[in-house]
Structure 1
Amino acid sequence: MKSITVQSLANAFQLEVLAGSGHTDRSIARSKVHRPGLEFVGYFDFFPMERVQVLGRKEITYLLTLTVEERVLHIRNIVHYHPPCFIVTADQQDIPYLTLFCEEEGIPLLRTKESTTEFIAKLDRYLTKELAPEISIHGVCLNVAGIGILLRGKSGIGKSETAHTLIRRGHRLVADDIVVLKKLGPATLLGTHNETSREFLALRSIGLINVVRQYGRTAFQDESRIVLDIELTSWQDRALNNELEVEQKYSDYLGVKVPYIEIQLQPGRDVGGLIEAAANSWYLKQLGYSAAEEFMNRIDNGMQP
């Protein structure tokens, strides 16, 4: 199971460490955060102790309504469960007992100035991406007119050169050579780079180029949802038929099915244009449009007396 450290989380959100500074190497392995409201009133059934615990104004205000003895009891009880860390939002200050017990138990206590709702939304998104199951594959990832595309093929087939053509047409590079795929949900696959190759595109006979330096900031983006898997293959005579509508095939990555298209290469063939057409065709299908269906309707209407 993937995990990140509390220190990584603190760095990402510039969190202030109030207690447990010597234990920020503790691991976080669950993506959803928890607000321990019920636990502060003594109900611990189903308590997700392995999640980051976020304390907003509701939780802190409730604790301040208790007597000192009750406050000490409730805070000590929840800290004893040893969650990865506690995060106090909205820059709240009235938390001396929470600070004390977190220090005693070696649990990091952090604080942010952000409001509870906004911070939880950002933190959930961050943890979902960081802890998502992932694999690395050989290929190129592009965003073509807002459509995330995985471009695959044997080494030397022309993936990077095709990507370069698309970038010059105004589309964006996400990753070249090594594409990191992250599963964010049952039907959501995110493509990104491995940091080392960020913004770089390797072109045979030319070498590495930095697409941002060469073509501007709009030539690159960090990530894109993958909705098409396109494989470049060598040309084979009579292997492809000019059908009205090609039967849809799928690739499977981490249990996520992605529509698959094969494009065969031949000198003079506009592969970049075909990829643009595939992206636009996918988008229109999401809107419920089928060119083949419209074509057949025209034929049927034309045959009517």
Structure 2
Amino acid sequence: MPDSVTVADLAKNVRLSVLQGEEYLDRPITTSDICRPALEFAGYFKHYPAMRIQLLGITETSFAKEIGHEKRKEYLERMCMPATPCFVVSTDLPVMPELKAAAKAAHIPILGTPLTSSRILGNMTSYLVARLAKRQSLHGVLVDIAGVGVLITGDSGVGKSETALELVRRGHRLVADDRVEVYARDEQTLVGEAPMILEHLMEIRGIGIINVMTLYGSGAVMPQDTIDLIVHLETWTPDTHFDRLGDRGDTQMILDVEVPKVSVPVKTGRNLAIIIESAAMNYRAETMGYDATKTFDENLNRLIKQNSQANQTGGSHD
């Protein structure tokens, strides 16, 4: 479930100053959408998004000053609805007296910032999307391998945590073990993080719970990471077919985001950490335009063509 967010949380995490209404900072914020009121200052309230944060910048304030005191007072009072979480005034602009009075009467806090409207809009949206986005809990281990977020999945006991621990020993960073809380930052980007109760912790069979940050330092952990690649560990059996050329292009849908996926057979004697590390490096190379499978196909086709030409040349001498 999405986290609940209050105006106090927003002010603390986005570094907003409380200009008025400090006693009302417990008001809830239920959407990451933010309103920059424009038509409202022209008296149009048919589709007024009252549940959104109301952001007032230079443009909104300048226009409001031109409509006269009585209209400004009326419109600002209508904007102070029970569902309105707060007003944010950007660019260190002075708060209009009519807004102060209307917000005080409606118990709505007013926050301020020296940042421009565009900057604070981006900051607030990023924070609220991360806090309010729909979340899905996945069974697996999330590790950052040289900038590639790799989600390691597989049946219980297949060796996910032990493999992740070896990756940490090789200089990579743990994000989450056992449970990964996932949300979609946008239509193409998934972000994973550890539940608060499991942050920095790993369970290793035969040892128990270990704190990775305590044992390996702060450089061995990350609070969150994008999920760029899924590596699924499967117990090897003779009758199971595994992709040998890497040309299947398997993917997995998580929260409507398609993520590349590779399946790795687990067999005695295989160094899974090195294999997963190589899979991450290969993924990174592919995103930079290098495709090893394509290179192999080109080399194979060239060899076939050369052999065919050689056979034709040899046959013409007979």
Whether TM-score is above 0.5 comes out as yes
CA change 1:242–1:64 in 2 (3 A) is closer
Q: Is the 8 A contact 1:18 1:99 kept in 2?
A: no
Match for 1:52: what amino acid? I
CA change 1:214–1:87 in 2 (3 A) is same
**Corresponding residue for residue 31 of structure 1:** 32
Q: CA deviation at 1:37?
A: 2.6
Mark the structure with the bigger radius of gyration: 2
**Corresponding residue for residue 172 of structure 2:** 171
**Corresponding residue for residue 72 of structure 1:** 73
Q: C-alpha offsets along residues 237-280 of structure 1, whole Å, 9 cap, x if unaligned?
A: 24245633342222222222222222221222010111112112
**Corresponding residue for residue 162 of structure 1:** 163
Partner SS state of residue 114, structure 1: coil
Instruction: Say yes or no: does 1:187 pair with 2:188.
Output: yes
Gaps (5+ residues) in structure 2?
A: 310-318
Distance 2:243 2:160 in 1: 24
**Corresponding residue for residue 43 of structure 2:** 42
Q: CA deviation at 1:81?
A: 7.4
Q: CA deviation at 1:180?
A: 0.2
Distance 1:211 1:108 in 2: 41
**Corresponding residue for residue 105 of structure 1:** 106
Q: CA deviation at 1:194?
A: 1.2
CA change 1:193–1:251 in 2 (3 A) is same
Q: CA deviation at 1:63?
A: 3.0
Q: CA deviation at 1:301?
A: 2.0
Q: C-alpha offsets along residues 6-61 of structure 1, whole Å, 9 cap, x if unaligned?
A: 22222323433344444433322221212113322323354332211111233223
Instruction: Say yes or no: does 1:85 pair with 2:86.
Output: yes
Instruction: Say yes or no: does 1:143 pair with 2:141.
Output: no
Match for 2:199: what amino acid? R
Distance 2:139 2:67 in 1: 58
Gaps (5+ residues) in structure 1?
A: none
**Corresponding residue for residue 133 of structure 2:** 132
Q: Which stretch shows the higher mean deviation, 83-92 or 178-187?
A: 83-92
Q: Is the 8 A contact 1:34 1:48 kept in 2?
A: yes
Q: CA deviation at 1:189?
A: 1.3
Q: C-alpha offsets along residues 184-229 of structure 1, whole Å, 9 cap, x if unaligned?
A: 2222211111122222222223333332232232211111111212
Q: Taking every aligned residue pair, what percent have the same amino acid on both sides?
A: 35
Q: How does 1:117-128 map to 2 (within 5 A)?
A: 117-128=118-129
**Corresponding residue for residue 233 of structure 2:** 232
Distance 1:125 1:186 in 2: 14
Q: Is the 8 A contact 2:194 2:223 kept in 1?
A: yes
Over the residues paired in the alignment, what is the CA RMSD in angstroms?
Answer: 2.3
**Corresponding residue for residue 215 of structure 1:** 216
Distance 1:67 1:240 in 2: 75
Q: Which stretch shows the higher mean deviation, 157-166 or 236-245?
A: 236-245
Q: Is the 8 A contact 2:177 2:198 kept in 1?
A: yes
Partner SS state of residue 196, structure 2: coil
